Amino acid sequence: MGHNDGEDNQPHRRWPRRSDSRACSAHAHPIGTAPQSPHNLIKIRAFEPNDAPRVCEIFYRSVHEVARSKYDGAQLDAWAPSIPDPSKWLPKLTEFETHLAVDESGEAVAWISMSAAGYIDMLFCLPEAGGRGVAGRLYDTVEQIAKERGCLRMTAHASLLAQPFLAKRGWRVEKHESHVRNGVSIPRAEMSKDLAA
């Protein structure tokens, strides 16, 4: 999950068109707690094509400012050498179930994307929105969509930060591995969650 540059190497089916989806329009609601915090006004909404530049910026900042707690500088530079080109990411962002968390001014602060096969491809949060349940709400959104679509199993390649996050949500590690990107080894884990039960 997230250790790629938008070039898809996973087997995926295409989602039905968004107009067929019950899920994409029903997730704008306040976060609920922490009345002193602006994050209580954060809403979840579906990705739109003009969000692509902000999504790429969040990816870059999240890697360099959040994932730095678990990865060294060479690994961060290999993972995100620069802010990705939004035009290169746009096709997959559009094809996948991509959802954003937006603050009260409409600015996105975190996002998630999931393939039709239930593969969580990306989950990135800005540091200022971290540790407040924002990523959890994004995750809940796509898990609900996966269930509604009849997906039996969700999968991900999880970073060292995402592993405990997913484990708390019922995921198990299938295999610890290292992904070589730009010549640098980046530890991650294959994880999955059965939805059938």
Q: By CB under 6 A, name the binding residues for ligand COA.
A: 1-2, 33-34, 62, 66-67, 123-125, 130-136, 158-159, 161-162, 165, 168
Return the HEC string of the chain.
Answer: CCCCCCCCCCCCCCCCCHHHCCCCCCCCCCCCCCCCCHHHHCEEEECCHHHHHHHHHHHHHHHHHCHHHCCCHHHHHHHCCCCCCHHHHHHHHHHCEEEEEECCCCCEEEEEEECCCCEEEEEEECHHHCCCCHHHHHHHHHHHHHHHCCCCEEEEEECCCHHHHHHCCCCEEEEEEEEEECCEEEEEEEEEEECCC
In the bound state with ligand COA, the residue whose beta carbon lies nearer, of 16 and 30, is 30
In the bound state with ligand COA, the residue whose beta carbon lies nearer, of 56 and 135, is 135
Q: How far is the CB of 133 from ligand COA (least distance, A)?
A: 2
In the bound state with ligand COA, the residue whose beta carbon lies nearer, of 116 and 167, is 167
Q: How far is the CB of 69 from ligand COA (least distance, A)?
A: 8
In the bound state with ligand COA, the residue whose beta carbon lies nearer, of 61 and 147, is 61
Q: How far is the CB of 163 from ligand COA (least distance, A)?
A: 8
Q: How far is the CB of 20 from ligand COA (least distance, A)?
A: 28
Which tokens sit at 35? 């009345």
In the bound state with ligand COA, the residue whose beta carbon lies nearer, of 150 and 167, is 167
Q: How far is the CB of 32 from ligand COA (least distance, A)?
A: 8
